[in-house]
Amino acid sequence: MQLFIEQKLLHFKQASGTSRGILHDKPSWILRLYLPNGNTAQGECSVIPGLSPEFVNMEQYEQVLFTLKKSFESNWHSEAFEKEDVLQSEKWIHFIQEFQAYPSIVFGMETLLRDVFGGGTGFLFDSAFARKEKSIPINGLIWMGDESFMLAQMEEKLAEGYTTIKMKVGAIEWEKERALLEQLRKRYSRNDLTLRVDANGAFTPKSAPSILQQLFYLDVHSIEQPIQAGQAIEMKELCEKSPIGIALDEELIGTHSLHEKRLLLESIMPQYIVLKPSLHGGFAGCREWIEVAESYKMDWWMTSALESSIGLNAIAQFTALYDNPLPQGLGTGSLYTNNFESSLVVEKGHLRKVK
């Protein structure tokens, strides 16, 4: 079977501020297999430069994809796809082990193979969501920027009917960001609007406790990654003493084995974890994270990592399998000027499949 790989540079409709600078575009690679029924099965390998640990530069990453193509075309044959348990096979387990340091590629291949079994229809996981019978609650995301830009986004999300807002912080002075949160809270009580913040490691172990206290006074639900990853002792202390929930995000990147996942969560004991298949081991890796988190009675939510509509469709269908009542971070489908056609729509703070 011949594996086709297309590089796709996704262009943001407007520059998007993150803790890693301003993003104008983002690369993805689309995996394709042309099926006998005339359909095309697809998967997406999505990276965020500066965050995805497997991505050094375009040349290096495409060399890994070339290795993937050779390995796939040499070892995977059409008869393998006649068995729906291929993703449980020794061949797949070996693939996971070979590419475990490349979670974006594992995610892309998992999506591709599931689409093969679905006949290239984009139906990857059977659920009420995939059957268009149920929607997924999602949060409205407020990107980093100056005060007027962030305020405009807030007004837009509220008008669209979101009841959970997540604001990225760390781009401007904290006092100004806090003032924006205060404006929201004055207008809407915690019963009407849930507030989350995503710090992406913007604060220090010294400054974080005071900020967490201020967020508590504003009835903020939780904060993602208040300090930079790799400070387990400091993060554990914050989780023990914080008056609001702390969610680990970047902290999970690069942890591959089930044993390592248990050690990490046991050593820090966060209230939540945030999962991104492109960063946290694909669907297989996220299943393990969920299993470990739930064994410690930790809640979780899923977040897309700026994938195109191909990857977002896959993540949404996977998320729906768990019927998690918490709002998920899956509202990134309309970010790009050159996205692929989507089977998903957002209505009043909910993601729904329409095709």
| Catalytically active residues, by annotation | 168, 276
Task: Tell me the C-alpha distance between 109 and 116, whole Å.
Answer: 10
Give the CA count within 13 Å in the CB-facing half-sphere of 269: 10
Give the CA count within 13 Å in the CB-facing half-sphere of 216: 12
DSSP state letters, 166-206: EEE-SSS-HHHHHHHHHHHHHHS-TTT-EEEEE-TTBB-TT
Q: Helix or strand or coil: residue 135? A: coil
Radius of gyration of the chain (CA): 20
**How many degrees, rounded to 5, is the angle at CA 278 between CA 221 and CA 48?**
85
Task: Tell me the C-alpha distance between 132 and 150, whole Å.
Answer: 33
**Strands 344-347 and 136-137, sheet pairing:** unpaired
Beta-carbon count within 10 A of 98 CB: 14
CB environment 321-351: b (16+ within 10 A), e (fewer): ebebebbbbbbbbebbeebbebbbebeebbb
- Residue 250, token pair as written in the block: 């970047």
**Strands 164-168 and 194-198, sheet pairing:** parallel
- Residue 231, token pair as written in the block: 């400070």
Task: Tell me the C-alpha distance between 64 and 60, whole Å.
Answer: 7
Give the CA count within 13 Å in the CB-facing half-sphere of 86: 20
CA distance readout (Å), 50 to 7, 62, 160, 200 = 18, 16, 32, 12
